[in-house]
Amino acid sequence: MYSYPDASSLVRALRPDEPITLLRPHAAERAARFFVEKFPGKSLYAVKANPSPALLETLWAAGITHYDVASLGEVRLVHKFLPDAKLCFMHPVKSERAIAQAYHNHGVRTFSLDSHEELEKIVRATATDGTAAADLELCVRIRVSSDHAKLSLAAKFGAEPAEVADLLVATRQAADSLGIAFHVGSQAMTPLAYAEAMEKVRAAIVEASVTVDIVDVGGGFPSVYPGMEPPPLEAYFETIHRTFEDLPISYSAELWCEPGRALCAEYASLLVKVEKRRDNELYINDGAYGALFDAAHVSWRFPVELMRESGSDEISEFAFYGPTCDDMDYMAGPFLLPADVKAGDYIEIGMLGAYGCAMRTEFNGFGETEDFTVEDEPMASLYTRIAANDLGNVHHIGKRSAQ
C-alpha cells in the first residue's frame, strides 16, 4: 500500500474523485501498546468496531492476543488471519449452529450469555456425543447503567438484577471458569461509570455466593471528539483496578476489558470532496450510507479539516449531504470549517477508524473507496496528549496544531 506523509500530499498528487480512507497503523499500534502495558488485566479487541484484517494484524503485532467476536463471521475472519488468537464469543444471543461451529471448528471456549435459555443452548451446542463440554469459560452479562455514556447499550442485553443470582449459580455448574461481564455503553465520559457497574458486580457475587474467575468490564473506553474531551484513560484503569481489587473473588481471578473504539478510532480518517455548496450545506461524496453513519444517525461530530494551503480566517458552521438520493443522507454537524469552502475542495474527516470503516454499504451505487497509508498524527488522540482545545475540528492545513 502506497504511503503519503499526510492527506494534503495525497490531494496534491491524486486529486481523487472518490472518497479515500486514510490509514494510520502507527496510531493503532500505539493505542494497543497503551492498553497492553497499562490496563491491569487482559484486553480483548472488540472486532465489530473495525474488522479490517490489516488492523487485526497490527493489533496482534502490538500485543493484543484476545479478540471479542460477536458473530460466526467474525470468528471465521479472526481465525483465518490470526490462527493463534484467543477468540471470545461475547454476543449474549447466538444461534446454536454458530455456537457449535465456533466451539468444534474454531476452538472457541469463551461465551457470553444473559439468560437460562442461552446457557442451555451453549451446553447443548458444545457437547460431544452427549457429553457436556468441560472446558467452557462462560461470562454472565449483567445489565448496568449507560447514563455516563454517549451511546446507550443498556436496553438490549444483560440479565436483570432479580435473575442474576440464579443464572450465576446455574452457569457455575456448567462452566470450568465463571465470569461476570457488563457494558457501560459506548464513549463513557467518566470512570464513575465503571465504579457504579462494579458495585452491581459485587452485589451479584454476594447474592449468588459463587466463585468468580473472570470479571469483564466490557468496552466503553472513550476517544476524543469535538465536544467530547474525556479524562485520561489512566483514570479509568485506576478506578477499574481499585474496584476489582475490592471484589469478593478468587485471588487468581482475571480482569478483562473489551476496547473497540479506543483501539481503532485513531486508525483511520476519511478524505472527501465537496461537490456542491448551498449556503452552509456542503454536498460531499461520502455520507450516511458510507463511513458517516454515526454522523447522520446519532449526530456524532467528527473533527474536520479543509485540505487547502490557504483559506478564510472566518470559521463557519456547516452541515453535510452525502452522495445518495436519500434525504436521510444528511449530517447536521455542525462541522466547523473556513467560511470560504467551495465545490472542488477536499475535507479530511477524522477519527473514523471505529465503526466508520465497518459500516459502509453500496446503497445507490456508492461506496467505492481506496485505502492509503499516511504517516502524520490523527486529528485528536488520548495517546499523544493533545489538549482539548487543539482538537483540529477547524481551520485549514496551515493552522493545524502541532501534534
Can you spell out the DSSP letters for 312-355? -S-EEEEEEE-SSS-TT-EEEEEEEEETT--TT-EEEE---TTT
Please state the rounded mean pLDDT for residues 202-206: 95
- pLDDT range class, residue 399, cuts 50, 70, 90: very low
Report the mean per-residue pLDDT for the chain.
91
**Could you tell me if 42 and 86 are in contact, meaning their C-beta atoms sit under 8 angstroms apart?**
no
- Tell me which DSSP letter residue 157 carries: S
The single-letter code of the amino acid at 327 is D
- pLDDT range class, residue 266, cuts 50, 70, 90: very high
pLDDT at 150: 84
Can you spell out the DSSP letters for 184-221? --EEE-STHHHHHHHHHHHHHHHHHT----EEE--S--
Q: Of all residues in the chain, what percent carry a pLDDT higher than 90? A: 78
The single-letter code of the amino acid at 364 is N
Per the confidence metrics, is the pTM higher than 0.85? yes
CA distance 48 to 51: 6
72-81 vs 53-61: helix crossing angle, rounded to 10: 60
Q: Where are the domains of the chain?
A: 3-23+266-399, 25-264
pLDDT tens, 213-235? 999 999 999 999 998 889 999 99
Closest by alpha carbon to 98, among 85, 86, 112?
A: 112
pLDDT tens, 371-388? 999 999 999 898 975 333
- Tell me which DSSP letter residue 369 carries: -
Q: Which superfamily, per CATH, for 3-23+266-399?
A: Lyase, Ornithine Decarboxylase; Chain A, domain 1 (2.40.37.10)
3-state secondary structure 216-281: ECCCCCCCCECCECCCCHHHHHHHHHHHHHCCCCCCCCEEEECCCHHHHHHHEEEEEEEEEEECCE
- Least-confidence region, from 37-51, 160-174, 306-320: 306-320
Terminal Cα distance for the chain, rounded: 24
Q: Residue 394: pLDDT above 60?
A: no
Please state the rounded mean pLDDT for residues 40-59: 96
pLDDT at 124: 97
Q: Residue 401: pLDDT above 70?
A: no
The class of domain 25-264 in CATH terms is alpha beta
Which residues are marked as active site? 325
Higher pLDDT, 393 or 340: 340
